[in-house]
Structure 1
Amino acid sequence: MSIQSLILLGVTLSAFLTVLTIGMRVAPADLRCVFSRPSLLARSLLAMIVLGPLIAIVVCKLFMLHPAVIVGLVTLSVAPVGAMFSKSMLPLVAPDNPAYARGLFFASTVLSVMVTPIAVEVIQRLFGEGEIVHVSPLAVAQVVVCSVLLPLGVGLAIGQRWPATRRWVPAIQKVSGLVLLVCAVPILVAAWPLMVSIVREGTLSAIVIITLAGLAAGHLLGGPGEDDRTVLAFATVSRHPGVAVALASLTDQPLAPVAVLLAVLVSELAVVPYKLWRKRRRAAIAAARQGSPPTAAH
């Protein structure tokens, strides 16, 4: 087996383990937190499934981007929520209020098996004669099932059948993070020259605009609860890069997977100001509540 194959296997294993641990920790209360609030669920799906891809499509139409970048941005916008999403929300919400993030990840992952193939088909029709995206809906569904739905289902089954295994989650997450770090460094080093080759005037601006507009859409639709705003904002822009790379590799643009990596890197930098603001906001709310009777967090 070649070094490249080992690296890709490591990335796949890391993503599988991450989603597996999320499934192991999902509790009925997490699902009730989402499904017991139909209005918030509807707004969440609107932001993630409709507005996120729509923003990416509009920006791609307005900017003169490299075809590979267009494919990368579009496939990233229709990919399921990223595997690290619920864990990354822990420092940004109240310590006793992570249920919405876990429940939303579970719900969106299950729905993505149907939604992502449909979204890809709609986008192909919207781009029309440009013929930028060539992906079979069945192939899209297979990628989503193998990448996120399968490990999520396995993790859920393990967690429900053997609850004691949940104490292994932190150790599994550490292994997953270490494997990803070891594999990501050589991938980024090798892909960097290719990333530079597809950057045109306006490319970085387009990625930043898509990210900020997605954050704004999620933040506005997630209210009035502060934690709900934060979670939905990040859910709208936090997509599974592994699924997006797999989808992009099915198209006729060989550099599209590289464009996905570029978009992920730029997006991670673009969300930093919002992340810092939400941390300060959460700290201010916690400080204001000190000495006051506890109230339910939303």
Structure 2
Amino acid sequence: MAEILQTLSNLFTLTFVVTSMFSMGLTLTVPQILNSLRNQRLVILALLVNFGVVPIAAVILSRVIPLSLEHQIGLILLAAAAGAPFLPKLAQIAKGNVPFSVGLMTLLVITTVIYLPLVLPLLLPGVEVNAFSIAITLILEILVPLVIGLLINARYQDTAVAILHPFTQISNVSLALLLVLMLGLNLGNVLGLFGSGAIFAIALLVVIATAVGYFLGGSGSDARKVLALGTGQRNMAAAFTVATGNFSDRPDVLVFLAAAGLVGMMIVMPVAAEFGKRARREREKVQAL
């Protein structure tokens, strides 16, 4: 029974990753992505925060907060994987710069594919990581579906519109089933995280990432909100992909990531909603003048 449930968990992970990236491609165009990334200073800051500050913060937290080796691996995986597929939706809720959120997400996903195989062995000394396997897995499961979606949207827009909703629903359902199954399989272990410092470490990392992204997001409030949300919400698809492929013999890593996905959304979603409320109030003030 346990083997069947684990197989279903792997299947839901694959389904979520592929369909979320494919759906993303169906809504994008290459010019849209490129035009939103013309601000070189903002792009450099986004890369620095996501692939420098956040991973370093995770390493420090893993040393300061007493964590098991599996939880340290999970925290560092969480920090090293950027480019959450949820970012455009979060930007819409926050009344932020949606085109920039699309471009930023795509940039972070592509950089994550290159970054993880190179940096994970450095961030996890003593832990064996198959860099080639990580790169191939991320390319096949993340970049290939994204590119296929972009091609369909560019050549067959009517088809892209028609199939977007079904694939989005499949992605949402598979993520929900994945989280439920992961928590169901390891409910006792997840509850045990509350006494291990793991939940505190996750929450603190997300708060730090969101705050640093906001304060380094430049002078434009729309871009600052997007960078804050894009830095705070990590790429669970990439993190699960690497964990499933390289740490399947360490189930506590997957448990940690399942909890991290829930904790991250519980922090970032209210932040996005608050940004949206402030934007509406500011707009109402302007209209009242």
Asked whether the two chains share a fold, i.e. TM above 0.5, the reply is yes
Contact in 2 for aligned 1:34/1:100 (Cα 8 Å) = yes
Instruction: String of CA shifts for 1:111-142, please: whole Å, max 9, x gaps.
Output: 22211212213213xxx4xx2x3212212212
Measure the CA separation in 1 of the matches of 2:188 and 2:48.
Answer: 37
Residue matched to 1:170: 165
Question: Do the aligned partners of residues 180 and 205 (structure 1) sit closer, same or farther apart at CA in structure 2, a change above 3 Å counting?
Answer: closer
Question: Do the aligned partners of residues 246 and 201 (structure 1) sit closer, same or farther apart at CA in structure 2, a change above 3 Å counting?
Answer: same
Residue matched to 2:135: 141
Structure 1's unaligned 5+ residue stretches are 293-298
Asked if 1:262 corresponds to 2:281, the answer is no
SS at match of 2:234: coil
Contact in 2 for aligned 1:216/1:233 (Cα 8 Å) = yes
Residue matched to 1:227: 222
Contact in 1 for aligned 2:83/2:104 (Cα 8 Å) = no
Q: 1:150 aligns with which of 141, 144, 155?
A: 144
Match of 1:266, as an amino acid?
A: V
Cα deviation for residue 199 of structure 1 reads: 4.5
Instruction: String of CA shifts for 1:232-275, please: whole Å, max 9, x gaps.
Output: 11211222223212323414634211111122222222335523
Asked if 1:86 corresponds to 2:97, the answer is no
Residue matched to 2:119: 119
Structure 1 segment 10-29 matched on structure 2, within 5 A = 10-29=12-31
Contact in 2 for aligned 1:68/1:255 (Cα 8 Å) = yes
Match of 2:35, as an amino acid?
A: C
Measure the CA separation in 1 of the matches of 2:288 and 2:194.
Answer: 53
Residue matched to 2:283: 286
SS at match of 1:283: helix
Asked if 1:195 corresponds to 2:190, the answer is yes
Cα deviation for residue 201 of structure 1 reads: 4.4
TM-score between the two structures when normalised by the length of structure 2: 0.89
Instruction: String of CA shifts for 1:17-58, please: whole Å, max 9, x gaps.
Output: 121111121124432333311111111111111111111111
Measure the CA separation in 1 of the matches of 2:75 and 2:224.
Answer: 24
SS at match of 1:222: coil
Q: Aligned residue pairs: how many?
A: 284
Measure the CA separation in 1 of the matches of 2:70 and 2:276.
Answer: 35
CA RMSD of aligned residues (A): 2.3
Structure 2's unaligned 5+ residue stretches are none
Measure the CA separation in 2 of the matches of 1:273 and 1:243.
Answer: 23
Cα deviation for residue 147 of structure 1 reads: 2.6
Q: 2:207 aligns with which of 209, 212, 233?
A: 212
Match of 2:234, as an amino acid?
A: R
Match of 1:118, as an amino acid?
A: L
Match of 1:203, as an amino acid?
A: A
Measure the CA separation in 2 of the matches of 1:179 and 1:273.
Answer: 23
Sequence identity of aligned pairs in percent?
22
SS at match of 1:87: helix
Question: Do the aligned partners of residues 272 and 156 (structure 1) sit closer, same or farther apart at CA in structure 2, a change above 3 Å counting?
Answer: closer
Residue matched to 2:268: 271
Contact in 1 for aligned 2:25/2:148 (Cα 8 Å) = yes
Measure the CA separation in 2 of the matches of 1:208 and 1:89.
Answer: 21
Match of 2:56, as an amino acid?
A: L
Contact in 1 for aligned 2:121/2:128 (Cα 8 Å) = no
Asked if 1:185 corresponds to 2:187, the answer is no
